[in-house]
């Protein structure tokens, strides 16, 4: 069966703030989230597409459905297609949105599909479909936050996802269970069984600082985990900015914020 995705070449630069350079032969294309492009050579032309950029010759209703799915994930209604219109090789670069790593994933190795966090997709070869993946259990939907609406990347080519901080890859054996913070999940193969569980014990819920729920991943399958989710980074930045702005004065207190409960 012939491949549907374009066969692109790439090179990843940097360490903690990475950039991926995609090399395109004439008439080859790569699709990306709007606003992620850093630079491109003269022969590269860009086109904004409504909905899923992998689809070809769709009717308006199918395009609207694809755009609506992207809206549910919190992404833009539009994607951008970069095509090499020249006669020689051209390059286009995409940068990571915050400190972390860019992971190149060949979907051929994982039976043509992986499931990832809704904000981790960076770019992919033209022909890769970016859609929704709903978890099988309602508990994951109501309580998981990042867990309910996940993205699925389907096709037979290269896709690139971004993760924050350090990346750990886990190959789970059949029946092996891994418990992680819901925000730390970057991606997983389609065989992994996924659910959300509540922390046990009232004291753990209130004082652990880990949130009320965590994800349980059951093998077999492969899982990518990030050490610094964007939500955690944003919370730390907001906390530091609040203190610097003089809006928080309880840092020197032994009780800290808990002491405010006893103030008039």
Each residue's pLDDT tens digit, 235-262? 667 777 777 666 544 444 444 544 554 4
To the nearest whole number, what is the mean pLDDT of the chain?
79
Q: Running DSSP on this structure, what letter comes out for residue 109?
A: G
Position of tokens 């003269």?
Answer: 42
User: For residue 102, what pLDDT is reported?
Assistant: 95
For the residues 139-146, what does the mean pLDDT come to? 47
User: For residue 196, what pLDDT is reported?
Assistant: 77
Q: Is the pLDDT of residue 67 over 80?
A: no
Residue 35's pLDDT band, with cuts at 50, 70 and 90, is confident
Residue 132's pLDDT band, with cuts at 50, 70 and 90, is confident
User: For residue 228, what pLDDT is reported?
Assistant: 86
For residues 146 and 119, give the distance between their C-alpha atoms in angstroms, rounded to a whole number. 9
Comparing 98 with 123, the larger pLDDT belongs to 123
Residue 64's pLDDT band, with cuts at 50, 70 and 90, is low
User: For residue 150, what pLDDT is reported?
Assistant: 81
Residue 205's pLDDT band, with cuts at 50, 70 and 90, is very low
Q: Is the pLDDT of residue 194 over 60?
A: yes
Residue 44's pLDDT band, with cuts at 50, 70 and 90, is very high
**Cα 24 to Cα 94, 99, 107, 190, distances in angstroms:** 13, 26, 19, 29
User: For residue 9, what pLDDT is reported?
Assistant: 96
User: For residue 72, what pLDDT is reported?
Assistant: 58
Are 216 and 223 in contact by the 8 Å Cβ rule? The answer is no
CA nearest to 162, candidates 154, 174, 153:
153
Q: Is the pLDDT of residue 88 over 90?
A: yes
Helix ranges (DSSP H) in the chain: 60-72, 138-143, 202-207, 230-244
Q: Is the pLDDT of residue 198 over 60?
A: yes
State which fold the 9-244 domain adopts: Double-stranded beta-helix (3.60.160)
Position of tokens 């919370």?
Answer: 235
**Cα 257 to Cα 40, 76, 183, 203, 251, distances in angstroms:** 49, 37, 25, 17, 8
User: For residue 250, what pLDDT is reported?
Assistant: 47
For residues 9 and 209, give the distance between their C-alpha atoms in angstroms, rounded to a whole number. 43
For the residues 1-30, what does the mean pLDDT come to? 91
User: For residue 148, what pLDDT is reported?
Assistant: 54
Q: Is the pLDDT of residue 16 over 60?
A: yes
CA nearest to 217, candidates 156, 163, 137:
137
Are 122 and 161 in contact by the 8 Å Cβ rule? The answer is yes
Are 13 and 160 in contact by the 8 Å Cβ rule? The answer is no
């Amino acid at each position: 069966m012939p491949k549907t995705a374009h066969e692109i070449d790439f090179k990843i630069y940097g360490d903690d703030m990475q950039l991926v350079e995609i090399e395109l032969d004439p008439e080859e294309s790569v699709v990306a989230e709007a606003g992620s492009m850093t630079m491109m050579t003269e022969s590269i032309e860009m086109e904004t597409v409504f909905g899923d950029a992998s689809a070809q010759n769709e009717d308006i209703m199918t395009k609207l459905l694809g755009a609506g799915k992207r809206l549910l994930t919190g992404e833009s209604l539009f994607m951008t297609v970069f095509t090499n219109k020249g006669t020689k090789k051209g390059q286009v670069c995409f940068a990571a949105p915050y400190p972390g790593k860019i992971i190149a994933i060949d979907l051929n190795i994982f039976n043509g599909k992986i499931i990832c966090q809704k904000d981790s997709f960076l770019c992919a070869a033209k022909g890769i479909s970016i859609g929704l993946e709903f978890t099988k259990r309602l508990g994951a939907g109501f309580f998981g936050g990042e867990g309910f609406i996940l993205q699925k990347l389907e096709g037979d080519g290269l896709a690139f996802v971004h993760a924050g901080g350090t990346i750990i890859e886990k190959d789970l054996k059949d029946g092996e269970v891994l418990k992680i913070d819901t925000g730390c999940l970057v991606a997983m193969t389609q065989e992994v069984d996924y659910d959300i569980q509540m922390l046990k014990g009232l004291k753990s819920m209130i004082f652990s600082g880990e949130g009320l729920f965590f994800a349980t991943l059951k093998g077999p399958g492969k899982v990518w985990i990030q050490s610094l989710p964007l939500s955690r980074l944003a919370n730390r930045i907001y906390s530091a900015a609040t203190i610097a702005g003089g809006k928080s004065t309880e840092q020197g207190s032994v009780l800290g914020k808990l002491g405010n409960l006893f103030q008039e």
